[in-house]
């Protein structure tokens, strides 16, 4: 789908009017049709134009979600679950109008089972709030997309982030979840057992379903002990190729690196500017090792040997928590840092993921593409998984620049697919990548549609996302 194709769908005006009347009466000041609030609920971290919902409601419990779903379902009104609005592919837009269900008041941590290394949270809990809450238990939740996203949103988009190379993605870290279905049924996809062979894996079906199958009301997550030693560092490399080859060797040797992140020269420059740092302005890897003192040191030593062989420069180590936090905040802010390169520009953020043996080639060709077209587009990436991001700065008032950005993204997706990769490692499809999804899959999309139709025959759960139902 091109940007210009993200158009409004059919609106059920009568149903929307009825639902608004009922929900307004029921939820009072926790329900709003105010323009500013509605605009805020469609304006996300994305290049895709906003399509605002007709109203926003703030439930405080699963029972209230159920009430909202029942009203919307009775009147066939679209529902769009909203976490923190940090998704990147237009996931919270309301192309057919409808009600934005803002989960920010469902922000309770319902239970921490420290002895079982799991917890149960409401969908509006953010990853940073969860980790603040957990700190005294000695446990942490590792999944960290760039933004301080909500656990509900992270579940819905199958988020990952810098720790995925060691700890997996949301797919690997959601034990089970509860949701309200379009027909008002409340489901619980599993137990707290660490593994199960009982029937179809509904948990994994909901993880990554982008709100199109039901509204999440709680999520049970795996937790991990905070390692006794965490050693982080930045290592400059003479070229992106050299840095990527160091990553490939690290993974192939089985070094269980916790984080291994690439920033190209342009991304380092932007990061220095934005975060007030003075790292060398060439390609670099940000790495982190977890373990006992001895084990973290052993991993760091092995990685150091690899980096040395490939021309890596002196490490800048950060072992104290404050220094580490500063380092990783700079990495997480890379998206925002990009804007310093072209003040006033918009950002077209995209990601792909390829088998690691093809990573250097894929990044290399992408950099050539960027250079050839004169784009301003830093590259950062979770390269241990073969996943990287391009954040292209463009002028959203320029039709030509939009078309160029779209064409670039299309070439990038096709390049990744040709290398046996995927058109999105972690951002998801939303509205922005539906054409790429069609290039990645064929009749499999019909299977996905048939599940959607079976679960949501009136297409009221976040319609128009992942694929069209028409």
- Residues of span 389-428 touching a copy of itself by CB under 8 A: 416-417, 420-428
Identify the residue among 22, 37, 109, 205 touching a copy of itself (CB under 8 A): 205
Shortest Cβ distance from residue 298 to a copy of itself (Å)? 6
Residues 219-248 that bind a copy of itself (CB under 8 A): 224-225, 227, 248
Applying CB under 8 A, what is the total number of residues that bind a copy of itself? 88
Question: Nearer to a copy of itself by C-beta: 132 or 453?
Answer: 453
Instruction: Tell me the DSSP string of 60-79.
Output: -SHHHHHHHHHHHHHTT--E
Q: Which stretch in 3-11, 48-56, 380-388, 394-402 sits in contact with a copy of itself by CB under 8 A? A: 380-388
Closer to a copy of itself by Cβ: residue 283 or 425: 425
Looking at the Cβ atoms of 96 and 173, the one nearer to a copy of itself is: 173
Nearest residue (CB) to a copy of itself, 269 versus 290: 290
Which residues from 342-361 bind a copy of itself, rule CB under 8 A? 353-357
Between CA 404 and CA 408, with CA 406 as vertex, the angle to 5 degrees is 70
Minimum Å distance from CB 161 to a copy of itself?
A: 11
Q: From CA 416, how far away is CA 369, in angstroms rounded?
A: 13
Tokens standing for 97?
């109008």
Token pair recorded at residue 173: 């870290």
The least distance separating a copy of itself from the CB of residue 281, rounded to whole angstroms, comes to 30
**Residue 421 and residue 355 in contact, taking contact as beta carbons nearer than 8 Å:** yes
Question: Of 22, 37, 109, 117, which one interacts with a copy of itself (CB under 8 A)?
Answer: 117
In this structure, are residues 434 and 467 in contact, taking their beta carbons and an 8 Å threshold? Answer: yes
CB of 14: closest distance to a copy of itself in angstroms? Answer: 29
> By three-state DSSP, how is residue 384 classified?
helix
Q: Is there binding between residue 208 and a copy of itself (CB under 8 A)?
A: yes
Report the alpha-carbon distance of residue 128 to residue 117 in Å, rounded: 18
Q: How far apart are CA 215 and CA 461, in angstroms?
A: 8
Cβ-based nearer residue to a copy of itself, 198 or 470: 198
Taking CB under 8 A as the binding criterion, the range among 9-17, 38-46, 264-272, 430-438 that sits at the site for a copy of itself is 430-438
| Stretch binding a copy of itself (CB under 8 A), from 17-25, 47-55, 191-199, 391-399 | 191-199
Q: Write out the binding residues for a copy of itself, residues 243-262 only, by CB under 8 A.
A: 248, 251-254
* Site for a copy of itself, residues 271 to 310, rule: CB under 8 A: 292, 294-295, 298
CB of 170 to a copy of itself, least distance (A): 9
CB of 401 to a copy of itself, least distance (A): 26
Quick one: 27 or 467, whose CB is closer to a copy of itself? 467
Please, which of residues 447-466 interact with a copy of itself by CB under 8 A? 447-448, 450-455, 466
Q: How far apart are CA 96 and CA 98, in angstroms?
A: 7
Burial of 437 (0-12, 13-18, 19+ CB in 10 A): buried
Tell me the closest approach of the beta carbon of residue 168 to a copy of itself, in angstroms.
8
Report the 10 Å Cβ neighbour count for 404. Answer: 17
What is the dihedral sign for C-alpha 23, 40, 97, 45? Answer: negative
Residue 294 and residue 271 in contact, taking contact as beta carbons nearer than 8 Å: no
Write the CA distances from 430 to 48, 157, 186, 193, 436, integer angstroms.
Answer: 10, 9, 25, 32, 11
Cα 446 to Cα 156, 424, 468, distances in angstroms = 20, 19, 10
Q: What part of residues 124-183 is at the interface with a copy of itself (CB under 8 A)?
A: 157-160, 164, 168-169, 171-172, 181
Q: SS3 helix, strand, coil % of the chain, rounded to 5?
A: 40, 20, 40
183 vs 368, which CB is nearer to a copy of itself?
A: 183
Please tell me whether residue 45 binds a copy of itself under the rule CB under 8 A: no
If the CB atoms of residues 209 and 275 are measured against a copy of itself, the closer one turns out to be: 209
Which residues sit opposite 137 in a β-bridge?
none
Site for a copy of itself in 7-36 (CB under 8 A): none
Q: Please, are residues 223 and 335 in contact by the beta-carbon 8 Å criterion?
A: no
In whole angstroms, give the CA distance from residue 131 to residue 151.
11
Helix runs in 136-239, H state only: 151-156, 164-167, 170-173, 202-206
Counting contacts by CB under 8 A, is residue 116 touching a copy of itself? yes
CB 362 to a copy of itself: min, Å: 11
Strand partners, 351: 389
Q: Which of 115, 136, 322, 400 is in the footprint of a copy of itself by CB under 8 A?
A: 115
The least CB distance from residue 70 to a copy of itself, in Å, is 15
Which residues inside 325-344 make contact with a copy of itself, applying CB under 8 A? none
CB of 37 to a copy of itself, least distance (A): 28
Residues of span 53-72 touching a copy of itself by CB under 8 A:
none
CB of 438 to a copy of itself, least distance (A): 10
Give Cβ neighbours of residue 227 (< 8 Å, ≥ 6 apart). 258, 290, 291, 292, 296
The C-alpha atoms of residue 93 and residue 42 are separated, in whole angstroms, by 5
Distance of CA 129 to the CA centre of its chain: 17
């Amino acid at each position: 789908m091109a940007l210009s194709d993200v158009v409004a769908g059919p609106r059920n005006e009568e149903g929307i009017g009825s639902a608004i009347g009922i929900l307004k009466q029921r939820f009072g000041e926790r329900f709003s049709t105010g323009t500013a609030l509605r605009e805020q609920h469609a304006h996300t971290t994305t290049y895709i134009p906003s399509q605002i919902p007709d109203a926003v409601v703030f439930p405080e419990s699963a029972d209230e979600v159920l009430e909202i779903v029942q009203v919307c379902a009775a009147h066939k009104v679209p529902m769009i679950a909203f976490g923190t609005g940090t998704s990147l592919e237009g996931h919270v837009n309301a192309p057919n109008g409808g009600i934005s269900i803002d989960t920010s008041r469902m922000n309770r941590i319902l239970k921490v089972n420290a002895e079982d290394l799991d917890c149960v949270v409401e969908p509006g809990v953010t990853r940073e709030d969860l980790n603040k809450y957990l700190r005294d238990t000695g446990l942490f939740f590792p999944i960290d997309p760039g933004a301080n996203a909500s656990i509900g949103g992270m579940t819905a988009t199958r988020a990952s982030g810098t720790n995925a190379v060691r700890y997996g993605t949301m797919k690997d870290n959601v034990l089970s979840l509860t949701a309200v279905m379009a027909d008002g049924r409340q489901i619980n996809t599993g137990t707290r057992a660490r593994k199960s062979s009982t029937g179809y894996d509904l948990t994994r079906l909901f993880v990554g379903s982008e709100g199109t199958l039901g509204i999440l009301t709680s999520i049970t997550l795996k937790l991990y002990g905070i390692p006794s030693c965490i050693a982080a560092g930045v290592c400059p490399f003479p070229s992106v190729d050299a840095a990527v080859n160091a990553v490939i060797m690290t993974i192939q040797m089985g070094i269980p690196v916790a984080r291994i992140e690439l920033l190209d020269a342009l991304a380092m420059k932007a990061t220095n500017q934005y975060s007030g740092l003075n790292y060398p302005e060439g390609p670099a890897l940000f790495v982190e090792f977890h373990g006992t003192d001895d084990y973290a040191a052993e991993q760091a030593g092995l990685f150091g040997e690899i980096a040395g062989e490939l021309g890596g420069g002196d490490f800048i180590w950060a072992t104290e928590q404050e220094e580490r936090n500063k380092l990783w905040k700079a990495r997480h802010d890379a998206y925002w840092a990009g804007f310093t390169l072209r003040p006033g520009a918009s950002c077209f953020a995209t990601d792909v993921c390829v088998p690691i043996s093809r990573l250097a080639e894929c990044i290399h060709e992408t950099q050539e593409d960027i250079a050839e077209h004169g784009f301003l587009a830093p590259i950062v990436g979770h390269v241990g998984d073969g996943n990287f991001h391009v954040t292209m700065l463009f002028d959203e008032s320029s039709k030509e620049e939009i078309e160029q950005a779209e064409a670039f993204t299309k070439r990038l997706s096709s390049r990744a697919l040709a290398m046996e990769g995927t058109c999105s490692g972690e951002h998801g499809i939303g509205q922005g990548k539906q054409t790429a999804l069609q290039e990645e899959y064929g009749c499999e999309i019909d299977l996905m549609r048939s599940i959607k139709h079976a679960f949501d025959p009136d297409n009221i759960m976040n319609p128009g996302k992942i694929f069209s139902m028409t």
